[in-house]
Structure 1
């Protein structure tokens, strides 16, 4: 099965309709009046949408009632609309089918924004259906009235308010097609009195959801090949845009004997069984990537808009292949830009590439990567801090004798299924996912990797679990992120979504702590006064497990993965764990030293 494939039966209960082009919506009741709300819901059902997320209320009551009567579509009522938008976006990323969320008049719609921005920056199709005040009250500053067209103008590819039944289904068609074409977010606003109005007789939505695939131009390919052939050594930077071009990526790396730095989103599909990959760069990266960049005579970027130019090599020519012309040269100056599909572009490029026989560049980077991995793996041993070296280190970086997060991530990696879906909160949870969880088999991974929001892992896990309750879904939650949207643990219980929530409970906003100390500042404002999160989860109806001894990790994680229904594992992890970036400098080290000195003077945490 392709690494991105999701069972059609899981997506649609065995009733997937259409092939992505030419969908049509039939009236929901033969011979009976069809309302605007019913037309919207029937169109979504025909498209393959199986779940709508949101909070019920007033203007959207006709829509939720239509969902109640449409057997092909299920409703998941969340406790916060932000969770609904994250869940819908997660489903869209996993399945390729439009994600749908709803928020009613004013505040309900506003709450969708953060999750919708995540969908926008993840480039995944999501439709938000928003309630509005009745037509006669539009523009009158009515109770809860918000100008949705202005509010969503930046986040949405398409944003319109239905002001007449005669605009349907055209506005619905435009919204859905804009979401797929982006891909991105479309917002359709429904005034409170419009949903129950009669749809124009004999109308139905006809949708085209496929996107054109640009074909690389011959002259662009020739210039790129000429530059690559002239370079002594090449390092590749490969991102999610190349995930479906695995065979072509590996063939080019083999031809060039090129080490391959993967972006975080490129891990999925490209990491496993890849003898050229050397992990990630940036704040979550490792020294091997810096070595590969520094020693390169040319950088070949494929399917990535990697947003951190300070980590990329300087003074070397860059060749960039990307589906989107606007990405070419956006981060670093480019000598040759190739616009086109990654697989098609690499196949065409390969024919013009001369083989590079010298393996020194590749072997050096791979050796550095293997050495770093070996050092990292020592930290996963539950007995690490009890040995002589571990005791010395622990006096400086684990003074509370808590569980090392590396050990937790490694145990989850070992025990989770080969087709598990992983979600990660932004921050240190993502660091440990990047370094210790391997994307073997048909594993998938989701996170707020472009927006960088807090609190995304749990609602994204809910969305993934609703697609297929038989597939293992594991969320790497930060304690700060989880508690931000804690109420939606109740959603997992109410809808029996068997998510496994692994909480890295270090009592800190860990990445912020790291940022402060790297800049030479004492830790301030990052300490979280957490309750026993396992006990809270148990009180809310989940299975709660608390772990404070590293030797208990395998048993606790194994139990969590084997337990039916939603489970939260509260693991007390080390707040002092330091994840130094691959380009750490003397000033970084000095920053940590000064920060620690200030902390020792002022006392830890928030006291200043």
Structure 2
């Protein structure tokens, strides 16, 4: 005989799970004890269950193996929710094992009792409370297979008396993982070819769903003479050495993408559920290719919807679509993109603010001559390894990574790009580092995000996870500040009373440094990346940096100008 807990842990180890994340406690004691005795699995105890769920999500995205996190009765399980929503919206297979009150007390409003099956209904594709050992291993098989098939979240709840209950030792656990490639409908391919052939110019919007089809995506862009707008998640695998890509759209984008959308005779969307319809052309004839039928047409009107695997669909198009001889649409978009990149590079020069143009600009957006965030992000890009795993907090940290870091080599990128949560960069980095302690992991941390889950800096120290935490310390909730200013409002409620974060990290046992001067930045970045273990680099960056999106309306620009005037009046009033 064996126990339910031992059966679960052995099955997970057999599946290739090497790390389980969470906070120990009461109902899950049988499970954590089984982990203690399973040499193939490392237990990493986080300071907050939310961090555990984020870490498991990152591991699932990077490895393809199901990520596992745990939270005990009531509050412990509830704390998992935000990280689990990140996994759901990132399509990451994650199993959450949640504790529950003893089965005899279910429904009696027992101390800390929470109805997990109801709480996790929206986030989990599968959720079940085990009420008898005889339900095993069937429900475990259902939970894991559903997480892989969705892909997404499964929640398995164990009452306190069930984990230690005995089951037959020979109750084998069988998990089926058969990835399917959906073949596109030939009639829809015919319609797509006709629309693309009839269009004088084509612009492509390519997402993460096409990352595994890099060669054929580039071949199709060449055939169509099409500039390629990449979603943020498509940077990984499709950005480097791509003569057709012109960066991102949306708040993190650049003018070239706006121009390429507006001047296109047709839009071809491949493997993307780009969530911002305001940034997409509304009247342009559009073809969308996606494996999920529910994604077709939900962001912008679509003339032809092709439901199918990106690689198979692209191959079908390449067999039939005609080449476009006029390449001026592509050349114009690339020229605009390269001009914008040149402007961005000028901002990274430590001497920029001393130039004539820099002095004029800094009068508006860098009055205290602080380090520009573009300079920090560019130096990280320059000195980070070619196989670095990057994680990034939501907000301005993502803006600087998107604009200044190239996903070359075998670099990977993880972020809360669909949920848009704060505080994800640190725990995502912990998950990545636990997969391979020899691989460089760099987290682009906002000061607001880092301090929200600051306690899990101690997790990096305790388990010697060699994360490099790069803090864009502008004393602001920067994206909110930008949103307020675009609406013509002076910033309010965004300022953060930060401590010396390097000193805090040092007190926690993590080596750290603080940089306030531009001329000291490069040496500090090199030292941080070269350090053998975890390290925090606290860089005091310019909070006034202008990061206007590429599609700024007259109203937004006027609102920004009015906001800056209001801020100046408030600031001068405060000093008088």
- Between the aligned partners of 1:182 and 1:156, the Cα distance in structure 2 is 10
Match of 2:421 among 442, 453, 473: 453
What is the alpha-carbon distance in structure 1 between the residues aligned to residue 251 and residue 258 of structure 2?
12
In the aligned structure 2, how far is the partner of 1:530 from the partner of 1:242? 41
SS at match of 2:175: strand
Say if 2:96 is the partner of 1:165.
Answer: no
For structure 2, the residue ranges without an aligned partner over 5 or more in a row are: none
Q: Which residue of 1 aligns with 2:335?
A: 367
Runs ≥4 residues deviating over 6 A: 604-607
Q: Distance in 1 between matches of 2:432 and 2:84?
A: 16
Aligned to 1:232: 200
What SS does structure 2 have at the residue aligned with 1:208? coil
Q: Which residue of 1 aligns with 2:276?
A: 308
Aligned partners of 2:275, 2:427: CA distance in 1, in Å? 25
Secondary structure of 2:167 counterpart: coil
- Residue 183 of structure 2 aligns with which residue? 215
Q: Which residue of 1 aligns with 2:214?
A: 246
Aligned to 1:47: 15
Which residue matches 2:247? 279
Tell me, in whole angstroms, the C-alpha distance in 1 between the residues paired with 2:467 and 2:333: 38
CA–CA separation in structure 2 for the residues paired with 1:382 and 1:388: 14
Secondary structure in 1 matching 2:32 = helix
Structure 1: runs of 5+ lacking an equivalent? 1-32
Structure-1 residue corresponding to 2:36:
68
Deviations, residues 61-92 of structure 1 (Å, cap 9, x unaligned): 00000000000001000000000000000000
Counterpart in 1 of 2:83? 115
State the distance in 2 between where 1:201 and 1:602 align. Answer: 72
SS at match of 1:393: helix
TM-score (norm 1): 0.94
Q: Deviations over 1:473-519 (max 9, x none)?
A: 00000000000000000000000000000000000000000000000
The answer to whether the 8 Å contact 1:527/1:606 transfers is no
- Paired with 1:256 and 1:482, the residues of 2 have a C-alpha distance of 44
Which residue in 2 is equivalent to 1:79? 47
Alignment of 1:173-572 (within 5 A): 173-572=141-540
What is the aligned partner in structure 2 of residue 20 from structure 1?
A: none
Whether the 8 Å CA contact 2:281–2:300 is kept in 1: the answer is no
RMSD: 1.1
Q: Alpha-carbon deviation of 1:602?
A: 2.4
The residue that corresponds to 1:3 in the other structure is: none
Q: Residues of 2 paired with 1:606 and 1:447: CA distance?
A: 38
Note if contact 2:282-2:301 (Cα within 8 Å) is conserved in structure 1. no
**Structure-1 residue corresponding to 2:118:** 150
3-state SS in 2 of match to 1:477: strand
TM-fit CA distance, 1:200: 3.3
Q: Choose 594-603 or 488-497, whichever is displaced more.
A: 594-603
Query: Using the alignment, how far apart are the partners of 1:329 and 1:313 within structure 2?
Result: 13
1:579 match:
547
Counterpart mapping for 1:583-602 below 5 A: 583-602=551-570
Instruction: Provide the TM-score with structure 2 as the length reference.
Output: 0.99
SS of 1:301's equivalent in the other structure is strand
**SS of residue paired to 1:100:** strand
Cα distance in structure 1, aligned partners of 2:125 and 2:307: 22
The SS at the match of 2:428 is: helix
Structure 2 CA distance for aligned equivalents of residues 130 and 314 of structure 1: 45
Q: 1:201 and 1:565, CA in 2 relative to 1: closer, same or farther beyond 3 A?
A: closer
Task: Using the TM superposition, give the Cα deviation of residue 530 of structure 1 relative to its aligned residue in structure 2, in angstroms.
Answer: 0.3
Q: CA deviation at 1:201?
A: 4.7
Flag the 1:88–1:318 CA change in 2: closer, same or farther, 3 A: same
Q: CA deviation at 1:392?
A: 1.6
Q: Distance in 2 between matches of 1:575 and 1:602?
A: 16
Q: 1:151 to 1:367 in 2, by over 3 A?
A: same
